[in-house]
Amino acid sequence: MLFNSVEYLLFFILVYIVYWQSPHRYRHLILLLASLVFYSSWSLLFLAHFLAIILLNYPLLVWIYRKKSAAALSLALVLNIINLSFFKYFYFFTDNIALLLDSDSASLLTNTVQNEWPPIILPLAISFYTFQIIALHVDAWRKQLETEPPLLDFTLFIMFFPQLIAGPIMRHNELFPQLHSHKSVQENDVPRALALIASGIIKKVLMADYLSETVYQIYAAPATWQAWILVLAAWFFALMVYLDFSAYTDLARGSALLLGFDIPVNFRGPFFQISFADHWQRWHLTLSQWLRDYVYFTMGGSRNGAFRLYVGLVLTFFIGGLWHGAGWGFVIWGLLNGLYLAIERFVYVSGIVPRVASWARRDAESLQHYQYRSVYNVLKAFLLFNMIAFAGVFFYAGIDLSRAELILTSMLGNWGPEFRLFALTGHHGIVVLVFLGLHYLEYRDYQPLQKWRQKIQDSWPLWYLLAAVALFGLLAVYARGDQPFVYFQF
């Protein structure tokens, strides 16, 4: 059941009506039932698997919370990592083991895995819910969990359907307090919810899906296109992934807000970055923060000297790349971003390049100096964007590195008139302009819109519900073939 489908529209309307018409004491059960239905629409078998994982983890959480047991934490980590590794990395491991064997042994292993064993299907949302469960266990062990959650709250925390499939990756303090807030429907921030839903619709249907057609058309035969067309496709791919994923997040946050839950922001205008560190404080925030708090800091962070810091950054992003997918393309993408951060940190600490504080004009800064600094910031942001787009070629390649090799060699060699050009349309220009406008608002945390907020809120009731139906309907009607969101594959 995709957000961009008629099924989800009808499902959400039903959940919305039943949820708000029910007494508060039943609402948790309604949300749980809705989440079970939502996940079961994909697979009843994997719903059973998901519930088994939850029921195995809950007593471990109670054990960790009550006894602060390192053994219980270790057991919980092993359980969840094995669960994720088996379903997501089994073929990756066996394929790479086969490369180390002689030809006969490799053929035997490959034949056994591919033809004699049943196929292993990746359960929906396993990467996201695994990280969310691990974070809860570690927080309980670190004594950051204020109270022992009941089983219903724990299950809802893991299965809450608006963010279940592709995040945001939540922490305990971002949902548990809201489960017991006793909100009424009148207290809902409906204007913000509808604005998020509208933003998600525009990003997904009118922008990301359109750019994806261009990207996949060019990348389907990269050797036939001129080099600058391939560079353009790399730019569009970076924009497409952002627009698609942030659209999902906007729709998830909007759906949650309509049910009275304010779930975390995941993007804050990442392509207006002034450094790689700034980019990763604005891109997929909940994953970046998870990697920082549970991987980077665990390895020592910046406390153990410069070399360990640089190694920690690279290893953290290696794990981040592997989390995205079981392929060397994802690994290289992660390693490149880790290297970008490590090199940037070294350059700044060494004083080779001055740090850039912000886009804003400083106090007592002359207009001329501000203009020079602004030009420098723009050029630097463009350079960073190109480096991110370059790493994105490996992200696109995923499990097949040969695709990245073909794209990059074609970028370097396809400069003759015999290679094809791509005809850009006005729609491409509109996508870029709308992206820049929405990105600016997102970067500014929507502050330019705040003065209109109260005027919108003052006109509440029926038209809000009608607007919500119209917006979801627009999403369902215009989504060409219910195209899935990019991050569903992770």
Q: Map out the domains of the chain as residue ranges.
A: 6-182, 190-274+388-489
Task: Indicate the SS3 state at residue 225.
Answer: strand
Exposed, middle or buried, 336 (CB in 10 Å: 0-12/13-18/19+)?
buried
Query: What pLDDT score was predicted for residue 195?
Result: 81
What DSSP line would sit under 443-463, residue for residue? Answer: HTTTGGGHHHHHHHHTT-SHH
Query: What distance in Å separates the CA atoms of residue 309 and residue 338, rounded to the nearest whole number?
Result: 11
| Residue 458: per-residue pLDDT | 61
Please list, residue by residue across 126-146, b when 16 or more beta carbons sit within 10 angstroms of its beta carbon and e when fewer do: bbbbbbbbbbbbbbbbeeebe
- Report the alpha-carbon distance of residue 301 to residue 297 in Å, rounded: 4
Please provide the distance, in angstroms rounded to a whole number, between the alpha carbons at the two ends of the chain. Answer: 16
Q: Could you count the other beta carbons within 10 Å of the beta carbon of residue 152?
A: 13
DSSP state of 420: B
Contacts of 239 (CB under 8 A, 6+ apart): 207, 211, 271, 431, 432, 435
CA distances from 311 to 180, 287, 464 (A): 42, 19, 51
**Per the residue annotation, which of 137, 172, 284, 324 is the catalytic one?**
324
Amino acid found at 247: A
Any idea of the CA torsion for 331, 333, 336, 337, to the nearest 10 degrees? -110
Q: What is the mean pLDDT of each run of 10 residues along the chain (490 residues)?
A: 78 93 91 95 92 96 93 96 94 87 81 82 92 96 92 95 89 90 79 83 87 93 93 96 93 92 93 90 94 91 84 95 93 96 90 75 80 86 94 93 94 87 89 92 75 60 57 56 62
Identity of residue 310: Y
Other CB atoms within a 10 A radius of the CB of residue 368 amount to 8
Lookup: tokens for 341? 């951060």
**How many beta carbons lie within 10 A of that of residue 118, not counting itself?**
5
**Adjacent-strand bridge partners of 225:** 420
Cα distance between residue 290 and residue 132, in whole Å:
9
Is 279 labeled as catalytic in the residue annotation?
no
pLDDT at 423: 85
- How many C-beta atoms lie closer than 10 Å to residue 107's C-beta? 12
pLDDT at residue 111, rounded to an integer: 80
Residue 401 neighbours by CB under 8 Å, 6+ apart: 327, 328, 329, 332, 394
**171: Cβ–Cβ under 8 A, 6 or more apart, which residues?**
135, 136, 139
Please give the model's pTM, rounded to 2 decimal places.
0.90
pLDDT of residue 9: 83
Residue 40: predicted pLDDT: 93
